[in-house]
């Protein structure tokens, strides 16, 4: 079926409150817009594009839900309760369990919990991209500040980030990325995750 100039508009699917599917045929602005979620009718059965006909680019936040780029599924009876936006590390001896990271006891970080995770439950850990995080509330972050996993030995809470690298003996300096925002006495900020080598303070 073919339509002449501007006739594709007739295919748009709308109602009084929602533009479900809209064909925009204005010259130079051709596109299809959606006003609802795209959900397959069965799990794990459909693709976008193919191995030979690919999309040129995808502009999206790919960390809401499971099985997405840059995420890890924490699912273990050893997972302790995680506060939303906390930096987390793996539980020792359990490949799937996570705990809120603490530079006093963890040598690396796994990622960030984008939502709260109950004890002994599963949840999604974001490992790449731009994320909202918990920060030491007394700190003010500027754009580009390097941030680290905070340490309970310095009076901070597990799961928080700080722009001041831990300095207590035997603590780990675990860089996690760079600040995008976090001004003022706020308990949250936004960072770009960047993985760099970890250093340990002398005992």
Q: Which residues, given as ranges, of the chain have pLDDT below 70?
A: 1-12, 14, 16, 44, 57-73, 75-79, 93-96
Query: How many angstroms separate the CA atoms of 127 and 124, rounded?
Result: 10
Left, alpha or beta for 159 (phi > 0: left; psi -120 to 50: alpha)?
Answer: left
pLDDT at 109: 92
pLDDT at 9: 57
DSSP secondary structure code for residue 139 in this structure: -
pLDDT at 68: 41
pLDDT at 136: 93
Which strand ranges, in their side-by-side order, compose the sheet holding 31-34?
13-14, 19-24, 31-34
Query: How many angstroms separate the CA atoms of 124 and 39, rounded?
Result: 19
pLDDT at 63: 46
């Amino acid at each position: 079926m073919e339509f002449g100039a501007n006739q594709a508009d007739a295919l748009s699917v709308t109602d009084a409150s929602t533009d479900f599917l809209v064909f925009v045929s204005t010259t130079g602005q051709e596109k299809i817009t959606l006003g609802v979620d795209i959900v397959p009718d069965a799990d794990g059965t459909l693709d976008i594009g193919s191995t030979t006909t690919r999309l040129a680019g995808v502009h999206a936040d790919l960390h809401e839900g499971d099985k997405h780029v840059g995420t890890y599924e924490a699912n273990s009876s050893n997972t302790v309760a995680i506060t939303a936006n906390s930096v987390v590390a793996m539980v020792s001896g359990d490949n799937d369990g996570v705990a809120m990271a603490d530079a006093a006891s963890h040598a690396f970080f796994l990622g960030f919990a984008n939502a709260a995770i109950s004890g002994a439950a599963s949840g999604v850990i974001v490992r790449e991209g731009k994320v909202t995080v918990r920060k030491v509330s007394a700190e003010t972050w500027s754009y580009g500040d390097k941030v680290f996993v905070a340490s309970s030995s310095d009076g901070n809470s597990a799961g928080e980030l700080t722009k001041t690298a831990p300095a207590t003996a035997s603590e780990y300096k675990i860089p996690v990325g760079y600040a995008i925002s976090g001004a003022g006495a706020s308990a949250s900020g936004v960072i770009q995750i960047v993985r760099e080598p970890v250093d340990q303070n002398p005992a």
